[in-house]
Structure 1
Amino acid sequence: MSLKFCPSRCLPRLLGAALTAVALLAGTPAIADDPTELAKAIVAKADEIRFPRDGFQVMIDISSVTSGEQPEDRKYRILSKGNENTIVQTLEPAADKGQAMLMRGRDLWVFMPNVSQPVRLSLSQRLTGQVANGDLARANFSGDYEPKILRTDTIDGEKMHVLELTAVDRGVTYAKVLYWVRQSNNWPYKAEFYSLSDRLLKVCRYEKFKDLGGRVRPTQLVMEDSLKKGEVSTLRYSQMTAKDLPDRVFTKQYMDKLNRVD
């Protein structure tokens, strides 16, 4: 069998195929020639590292510190399915036990034991310390923001994608996010959250990557207020397990029953 050399016009196709193979082997989407699609892929992969796609349950302990005051500690149970349906149950302090938030899409309600009707909330409203409702109820950057890659930074010798995430509408938690993601493995490193007037509100660091829920994830988030120095909330994630969560769980009618099962 004779071998034939490929003419020069074949070279672009061969080069493209080679790049695709390399990208797939490296676990990176073969879309480097499309910056928009590459940015979307990076954010989606970082979302999957933070939380599973399928139904799961996780415990979150939050400790908030304000200058000159004692730390405020709170504990929550999160039930989530597909980043669109979430229940946030308050477990501690005891005075607030029984309160729960239900999120469907970007619609959010709070249910309180002594109030007959749920109350509508915004995702951007503060829950505790530096933590907004949406920080717990909807951690879905890929669904809530349009991303673009701004540049590459090197931090402690590690290359980072720096992305700008612009809110798809005013119903999301933040108007804009600057997001640092490790190029080597798509682990989130840091996020800066901005208001509609482009004011830096707070900075979040993703820390203590450990096995949680079947893969390595950040198990600690540190959120610092950029307007009031010394005000910090630390979120610690634990006991993440896969959970079959039928759609009927994420309904107003089911919330009372769910709160009684504890």
Structure 2
Amino acid sequence: MRELFASVAITLLCARAVSPVAAEEPSLTAEAILEKADEVRNPQMDYIVMATITSVKPHGSSTTATYRVLVKGRDRAVVQTLSPPIDTGRVMLMRGKDLWVFLPTISKPLRISLRERLMGDVANGDIARANFSGDYTPALTKQERLEDRTYDVLDLKAKAPDVTYARVVLWVDHDTFAPARAEFYAVSGRLLKTCSYEDYRLLGGMLRPSQLVMHDATVKDQRSTITYDQMTVTPLPEKYFTKDYMKKFME
């Protein structure tokens, strides 16, 4: 864990100088810290990004899938599957907390949940619904000093049962608001997986984590990595986020 924070800290020394959300206030509420962390994780406006998921099993075999993700505001998203070829044409539509999957082989969309697995250790909500603020009530539980950096530790409790996780514990850099690590829990309180936010790069106009490395807490040595690339902040028309338009994304 110390190695993770050390690598993140090196990046954040540079991020502090260029990040538009660097801390100016002497103290902030847990809600404000979470909102600023969300601003670092992804743009709070319309954008398009490429996402590649690589899932590695305990015995070493791996699978990879590529997606084109279109996001409008905080509650609308389209996820197009570009590869592997067997899944090409599969499209997910999120409106609010409602999620549907459209498949070339069926005539009507299927209702699915944010918690269902998309691939490996990655849930649908990990890709389609990227913001924590709004879905969770945060509490600032403590600060941790690691590798010459101070991290605010937020305990996030789900506001409703239909979000991706019942509880999230999030480590946020105190100076830059960059997320470093997260733990995701089920309703039962069981730890499902951990996530490290790595390889900060310029995406959509500011430094953001280009890799989310998720480790399954229930299966040893199983992990999935989400890699983001080619992020473009651009206005997206409302029609893209309707059921009627999904057939065009499937073509």
Q: Structure 2-normalised TM-score?
A: 0.89
Aligned residue identity for 1:236: T
Q: Does 1:100 align with 2:91?
A: yes
SS at match of 1:236: strand
Aligned residue identity for 1:98: G
Q: Does 1:173 align with 2:164?
A: yes
What residue is the counterpart of 2:105 in the other structure? Answer: 114
Q: Does 1:235 align with 2:249?
A: no
1:129 maps to which of 111, 117, 120? 120
Structure 1 residue 29 displacement after superposition = 4.6
Contact preservation (8 Å) 1:29, 1:41: no
What residue is the counterpart of 1:27 in the other structure? Answer: 23
Contact preservation (8 Å) 2:154, 2:170: yes
What residue is the counterpart of 2:205 in the other structure? Answer: 214
What is the distance in 2 between the residues matched to 1:42 and 1:83?
17
What residue is the counterpart of 1:226 in the other structure? Answer: 217
Contact preservation (8 Å) 1:125, 1:133: yes
Residue deviations 1:90-139 (CA, integer Å, cap 9, x gap)? 00100000001000010000000111000001101111000000000001
* Structure 1 residues 195 and 28, CA gap change in structure 2 (3 angstroms): farther
Within-5 A mapping of 1:1-262: 27-29=23-25, 32=27, 38-260=29-251
Residue deviations 1:51-70 (CA, integer Å, cap 9, x gap)? 11111100011110011252
What residue is the counterpart of 2:18 in the other structure? Answer: none
Q: Structure 1-normalised TM-score?
A: 0.85
What is the distance in 2 between the residues matched to 1:26 and 1:171?
32
4+ aligned runs moved over 3 Å, structure 1? 25-30
Contact preservation (8 Å) 1:29, 1:38: no
What is the distance in 2 between the residues matched to 1:229 and 1:203?
12
* Structure 1 residues 226 and 26, CA gap change in structure 2 (3 angstroms): closer
Residue deviations 1:222-256 (CA, integer Å, cap 9, x gap)? 00001111110011100001222111110000110
Structure 1 residue 157 displacement after superposition = 1.7
* Structure 1 residues 72 and 215, CA gap change in structure 2 (3 angstroms): same
Return 5+ residue gaps in structure 1 as ranges.
Answer: 1-24
SS at match of 2:29: helix
Return 5+ residue gaps in structure 2 as ranges.
Answer: 1-20
Flag the structure with larger Rg. 1
* Structure 1 residues 26 and 111, CA gap change in structure 2 (3 angstroms): closer
CA RMSD of aligned residues (A): 1.4
Q: What is the number of equivalent residue pairs in this alignment?
A: 231
What is the distance in 1 between the residues matched to 2:83 and 2:247?
18
What is the distance in 1 between the residues matched to 2:80 and 2:246?
10
Residue deviations 1:156-186 (CA, integer Å, cap 9, x gap)? 1210000100000100000000000000100
